[in-house]
Structure 1
Amino acid sequence: MRSSRSRGSSSGGVRTPEPWEFSQSSSSSSSSGSKRSDSSRNPIQIAARAIGSCFVPMEPHLPTGNPGDGFRYQSSIAAPSVSVHGSTHGVDKKNLGRLGMFGSGRGYSGKGYSSQKEPGTMKFTMTEINRATKNFSASLKIGQGGFGTVYKGKLEDGTFIAVKRAKKTLNDSHLGVEFQSEIKTMAQVEHLNLVKFFGFLEHGDEKIVVVEYVPNGTLREHLDCLKGKPLDLAARLDIAIDVAHAITYLHMYSDHPIIHRDIKSSNILLTDTLRAKVADFGFARLGATDGDATHVSTQVKGTAGYLDPEYLRTYQLTDKSDVFSFGVLLVELVSGRRPIETKREIVERITAKWAMKKFTEGNALQTLDSNLLPTPAANLALEKILELSFQCLAPTRQSRPSMRRCAEILWSIRKDYRELLSSDPPCPRMRSSMNEKIAHDHIEVLIMLQLLISPACFPY
């Protein structure tokens, strides 16, 4: 029985479904060839498309088959239901979480799929933990963070686990809050793209969190090419969609809205089949539940480079803070760069800001990870992913899309990417038709882009 691993990559304070009830985005335009027309290189038009696609109305369609592979549609997005092995059953939020959302290019069966143990129901003793980790052997250490150290373990029934062992100085009030936050949050969520929580243990001065072991490292390790060959663009798109599904579940479909507050590449774990699982709930916080409340006032926590500047300035936390972090993650995915590149020239140091400038100048291709081959399909996907990321990076939360909307747009981008990969480059007439779909409100776009590129958007 295989399971997966969680890494404690955080370091206190600011730190360095399958089918579901969703509509498919119509914002992603048809595929285009490698040679773009002059109008498609117009910075104003490119920028307009980046902002304008925020406001494209969603199609009232719902995938009920295998998304991206000739699925059928139905028109309601009301009562949630899911199709499993040909039969449809009404399910509650918990069951939606278990099944996941949308679809991705790879299934969960076989290698990489986690244990079927119910989350949070396992009881552990210190003797079992010591036996599973060989008394916290240094050879089984797989991660280190502000909370403590993470070890790989193996239970007597063969299940692999990740054991997060808190620092012995956990009398530190902040670390104690992180421990309580993690176990409370993980105990109430369950989703295929979230690291599964097995249980916790408090024994004397020992505080232990036990989660599934995810065997293939973090997304950041893969982007740094520390785990073999580089991720191709198709895998990166699938990973982005998996993460979007997980965060959408936290924001909309958990028992109470949950804001993760630390979405970053080192908190995204990958299975052997490159399915993504979001980990580390030490900074997670319940969102506003009062119908009139628009935010939660709380001290700033997160990781430099991913922090929402509006939250940093006002101490007002909303689910759009996760959206901002996700926008940074999208730029990281396509560029391969870290959010803050301290060894680069000043103009390239803040990766998202650098990528925005390249994009608005019509040089989006210069932001593509050198490990990725520039092809017509890749170039189109790159531009559209950057469009979405810049929407997520808007200076104010009202201007950012929801995570659900992000998932829809990414799904559409993946669909177009696959179609273009499997077909010849479109003719010039088709490319011209695509270009006519670009938004035309130049003045608003210029104002928005000026705000996006301003220092206030990236105060690091």
Structure 2
Amino acid sequence: MGLHENKHDANDSSEKEDPLLAVPGVLLICCGLMLPCFHAERKEGRRHNTTSIQRNAVDSLSSFDVSTSSEKIPPTPHRIPPSPSRFAPSPHIARVGSVDLSVQQILRATQNFSHSFKLGEGGFGTVYRAVLSDGQVVAVKRAKKDQFAGPSDEFSNEVELLAKIDHRNLVRLLGYTDKGNERIIITEYVPNGTLREHLDGQHGRTLDFNQRLEIAIDIAHALTYLHLYAEKTIIHRDVKSSNILLTDSYRAKVSDFGFARSGPSDTEKTHISTKVKGTAGYLDPEYLRTYQLTPKSDVFSFGILLVEIISARRPVELKRAAEERITIRWLSRNSMKAT
């Protein structure tokens, strides 16, 4: 659910990145958080039965009811969240036949896609809050008409990948419709906005250090699951602050899988060759240069995101002075001055 971010091809964003300046600081911070999470995930995974959980397409997916959430664990200075297992339980799960909605039901649930129900807008479409007849609140992503006129690859890709994942730090798919003049994806509603909104202070308070740390660890757990424990390796390709949603208890959920790709199916291959997709400022310079996509591209984006979480600055801020516009360069210069 990318909000207020422009997604670019390689030609639009290659000038934003300087790998020589970006890599050192990012990797140091990234390794500090990612390595313990990878280790914990692997250890936890061995304790659980690895038998695959089969799904009967999207109609048999589990539903998420935020009104009965048991996740509301207040952050404490000394608590580091444990690594979730492969199929970590979510609060109150219910079967989802009732979320197989018609377009007319969706129109009623969003009051005809009312502006007052709008949550945000991304490259694929607009996201709305929807209240179902039974009182359940969900999020509805409606494709833009120009997207509908073109190929359905992005829509189909997001539905297919969301249907295969199940992790408490990933947004859960509830249903979809591809009928008439509408392409709509229905997901769980995450009530506390995006990480970017909180870094901008739009919710009236500043995230404290412990909340930022736990959010970063939640994102690391989500990426670890996608890269190592999903049925097939999944590379998100658009890890950024506006695609991180927060619950009322400030737990992070990664969203928007429109650009995601399955990793190489051949065990002898380490990458897939593909057109560059992503957001300027977060893109892996090696991926930009070679068009070879690996899970490391997500790790690089995660490193940029860590800098953003700590500094609250966007990766690219064009309104700043020239020497401060690229945050990672600004950070590198200040780090060298400090030493």
Fold match (TM-score > 0.5): yes
**1:81 maps to which of 19, 23, 47:** 47
Determine whether 1:157 maps to 2:134.
yes
Identify if the C-alpha distance between structure 1 residues 360 and 147 changes in structure 2 by more than 3 Å, giving closer, same or farther.
same
Q: CA deviation at 1:169?
A: 2.3
**1:226 maps to which of 189, 199, 202:** 202
Aligned residue runs from structure 1 range 26-175, under 5 A: 77=43, 80-81=46-47, 90-92=49-51, 108-109=71-72, 116-118=93-95, 122-173=99-150
- Measure, in 1, the Cα distance between the counterparts of 2:53 and 2:134: 26
The equivalent residue for 2:221 is 245
The equivalent residue for 1:200 is 176
The one-letter amino acid paired with 2:292 is Q
Determine whether 1:319 maps to 2:320.
no
Aligned residue runs from structure 1 range 384-399, under 5 A: none
**2:193 maps to which of 217, 226, 235:** 217
Q: Residue 169 of structure 1: SS of its match in structure 2?
A: helix
- Listed one character per residue, the Cα deviations across residues 112-152 of structure 1 (whole Å, up to 9, x for unaligned) are x7652357994221122112111111111111112111110
- Listed one character per residue, the Cα deviations across residues 172-222 of structure 1 (whole Å, up to 9, x for unaligned) are 436x22111110110111110001110100121100000011111100000
- Asked if 1 retains the 8 angstrom alpha-carbon contact of 2:2 and 2:123, the reply is no
Identify if the C-alpha distance between structure 1 residues 140 and 114 changes in structure 2 by more than 3 Å, giving closer, same or farther.
farther
Aligned residue runs from structure 1 range 271-310, under 5 A: 271-310=247-286
Q: CA deviation at 1:293?
A: 0.7
- Measure, in 1, the Cα distance between the counterparts of 2:44 and 2:251: 28
Q: CA deviation at 1:13?
A: 3.8
- Measure, in 1, the Cα distance between the counterparts of 2:52 and 2:209: 32
- Listed one character per residue, the Cα deviations across residues 55-111 of structure 1 (whole Å, up to 9, x for unaligned) are 9xx89x9879xxxxxxxxxxx9486225xxxxxxx354659xx9xxxxxxx971589
Q: CA deviation at 1:362?
A: 2.8
- Asked if 2 retains the 8 angstrom alpha-carbon contact of 1:115 and 1:212, the reply is no
Q: How many residues align?
A: 295
The equivalent residue for 1:404 is none
Q: Residue 94 of structure 2: SS of its match in structure 1?
A: coil
Determine whether 1:344 maps to 2:310.
no
- Measure, in 2, the Cα distance between the counterparts of 1:181 and 1:303: 18
Identify if the C-alpha distance between structure 1 residues 232 and 107 changes in structure 2 by more than 3 Å, giving closer, same or farther.
farther
- Asked if 2 retains the 8 angstrom alpha-carbon contact of 1:218 and 1:269, the reply is yes
Identify if the C-alpha distance between structure 1 residues 54 and 167 changes in structure 2 by more than 3 Å, giving closer, same or farther.
closer
Of all paired residues, the percent bearing the same amino acid is 49
- Measure, in 1, the Cα distance between the counterparts of 2:264 and 2:97: 25
Q: Residue 147 of structure 2: SS of its match in structure 1?
A: coil
Identify if the C-alpha distance between structure 1 residues 51 and 219 changes in structure 2 by more than 3 Å, giving closer, same or farther.
closer
- Measure, in 1, the Cα distance between the counterparts of 2:252 and 2:332: 26
- Asked if 1 retains the 8 angstrom alpha-carbon contact of 2:29 and 2:306, the reply is no
- Measure, in 2, the Cα distance between the counterparts of 1:139 and 1:107: 28
- Measure, in 1, the Cα distance between the counterparts of 2:332 and 2:134: 50
- Asked if 2 retains the 8 angstrom alpha-carbon contact of 1:150 and 1:165, the reply is yes
- Asked if 2 retains the 8 angstrom alpha-carbon contact of 1:202 and 1:208, the reply is yes
The one-letter amino acid paired with 2:232 is H
- Asked if 2 retains the 8 angstrom alpha-carbon contact of 1:181 and 1:282, the reply is yes
- Asked if 2 retains the 8 angstrom alpha-carbon contact of 1:9 and 1:145, the reply is yes
Q: Residue 187 of structure 2: SS of its match in structure 1?
A: strand
Q: Residue 170 of structure 1: SS of its match in structure 2?
A: helix
TM-score normalised by the chain length of structure 1: 0.58
Q: Alpha carbon RMSD of aligned pairs, Å?
A: 3.3
The equivalent residue for 1:378 is none
- Asked if 1 retains the 8 angstrom alpha-carbon contact of 2:234 and 2:262, the reply is yes
- Measure, in 2, the Cα distance between the counterparts of 1:232 and 1:346: 29
The equivalent residue for 1:254 is 230
- Measure, in 1, the Cα distance between the counterparts of 2:2 and 2:39: 35
The one-letter amino acid paired with 2:171 is V
Identify if the C-alpha distance between structure 1 residues 63 and 173 changes in structure 2 by more than 3 Å, giving closer, same or farther.
closer
- Asked if 2 retains the 8 angstrom alpha-carbon contact of 1:114 and 1:212, the reply is no
The one-letter amino acid paired with 1:179 is F
- Measure, in 1, the Cα distance between the counterparts of 2:305 and 2:39: 27
- Measure, in 2, the Cα distance between the counterparts of 1:120 and 1:335: 44
- Asked if 1 retains the 8 angstrom alpha-carbon contact of 2:7 and 2:280, the reply is no
The equivalent residue for 1:370 is none
- Measure, in 2, the Cα distance between the counterparts of 1:249 and 1:341: 31
The equivalent residue for 2:20 is none
Q: CA deviation at 1:159?
A: 1.1
- Measure, in 2, the Cα distance between the counterparts of 1:292 and 1:185: 23
The one-letter amino acid paired with 1:338 is R
TM-score normalised by the chain length of structure 2: 0.78
- Listed one character per residue, the Cα deviations across residues 213-249 of structure 1 (whole Å, up to 9, x for unaligned) are 1111100000000011100000000000000000110
- Measure, in 2, the Cα distance between the counterparts of 1:322 and 1:242: 15
- Measure, in 1, the Cα distance between the counterparts of 2:178 and 2:165: 21
